[in-house]
Structure 1
Amino acid sequence: MSRRTTTWGLLAAAVLAGLAGAVPPRLWPGLLPAWAGPVLFVFALVLAFAALLRGQLPEPCDSASPGLRRRYTRELLLAMGAYTLVLFASVWLLRHVEAPALRALVALLPVPPIAFALRAIVRYIRDSDEMQQRIELEAVCIATALVSLLYLAGGFLQTAKVIDLPAGAVLIWLFPLVCLTYGLAKVVVARRYR
């Protein structure tokens, strides 16, 4: 897949995510939970930012073989597509289920697709050459450290009653924040090895 195609694909996905967050609440009120619109809007912004980065950066920051990249992309897209569908189904089902044990099971339905996404990431890193492994692992370490520092600072501010954030929202955004920070860190780390 060419660089231009990827950039336009990311922009198209950003537009679709933005429309998915804006149109259903107006046409079908109550179809999506109140938080889904803002989440899809933020996701659209992240995709647009990724497209901007993709268009501005020099050649890809990974040295993996095309076959490995294709396998990784296929596995990751399937897992994230399943995650999106299961997440919406889970949110819808939670409105109609009352039993605590069943609510817990329904609430955890989106976790297995994310586990498959993580499996794809681990397989990609494991099967890459040593240079690519180093870039990936440095980026993961930097992302984990930065997000941990951010959450630690947030915890101190929450304890001091300077901010008041709902725990559920904070926990749900942890993984996407690590992924976003990892992507940005990977760009920075890869530049060092050019």
Structure 2
Amino acid sequence: MRAVHKRYLREFIPAMLAYVVLVVLSGFLLPKTASLPWRVVLAVLPLLPIVLAIRAMVRVLRDQDELERRIDLESFAIAAMATGFGFFSFGLLLLADLGWQVRGGAVAIWVMPCLFATFGLAKLLVVRRYRHHE
């Protein structure tokens, strides 16, 4: 594994672990907190490690070689379109009033994790395609 990818893992994994801890903590404390300013702080607290994860992603993208950068950018484009299409489709189905009761916040909170997951899947497919063309 190249140094750029080792650095990425050293930055990304702790950020994601902190995100999980803060999401759980926020979810546990929000219903028990009456003060509006504290509720706002608790609600946005998980954003801090996400900013660090995004920073790690941008740094690894910037420091990769041209082929790795091309693979990641293509993977990100596929992931962005697939995630956007999925959430747009879900929104259209919600507008059809199918009887589903879904709060907007419950949908919105899943956009970033879905984008990250579809990026991982897209990258597997893109890397596989590039290997078959060698």
- What is the TM-score when the length of structure 1 is the normalising length? 0.63
**Which residue number corresponds to residue 151 of structure 1?**
87
Task: Please give the secondary structure, in 2, of the residue aligned with 1:162.
Answer: coil
Separation of aligned partners in 2, 1:150 and 1:87: 23
Q: Residue 183 of structure 1: CA displacement?
A: 0.7
- Residue type of the alignment partner of 1:191: R
Cα distance change on mapping 1:166 and 1:95 into 2, 3 Å: closer
Cα distance change on mapping 1:163 and 1:145 into 2, 3 Å: farther
Q: Residue 166 of structure 1: CA displacement?
A: 2.2
Task: Note if 1:175 corresponds to 2:108.
Answer: no
- 1:147–1:181: 8 Å Cα contact kept in structure 2? yes
Q: How does 1:35-50 map to 2 (within 5 A)?
A: none
**Which residue number corresponds to residue 127 of structure 1?**
63
Q: Residue 163 of structure 1: CA displacement?
A: 5.2
Instruction: Give the count of matched residue pairs.
Output: 130
Separation of aligned partners in 2, 1:72 and 1:152: 31
Q: Which has the higher contact order (CA 8 A, sep 6+)?
A: 2
- Residue type of the alignment partner of 2:124: V
Structure 1 segments (4+ residues) deviating >6 Å: none
Query: Tell me, which stretches of 5 or more residues in structure 1 are unaligned?
Result: 1-64
Q: How does 1:99-110 map to 2 (within 5 A)?
A: 99-110=35-46
- Residue type of the alignment partner of 2:117: L
Q: Deviations over 1:114-173 (max 9, x none)?
A: 110111011011100010000000000001101111111111111110252221221111
Structure number with higher helix proportion: 2
Separation of aligned partners in 2, 1:122 and 1:190: 19
RMSD: 1.4
State the percentage of identical aligned residues: 39
Task: Note if 1:118 corresponds to 2:54.
Answer: yes
Query: Tell me, which stretches of 5 or more residues in structure 2 are unaligned?
Result: none
Q: Deviations over 1:33-85 (max 9, x none)?
A: xxxxxxxxxxxxxxxxxxxxxxxxxxxxxxxx521111111101111122122
- What is the TM-score when the length of structure 2 is the normalising length? 0.90
- Residue type of the alignment partner of 1:182: F
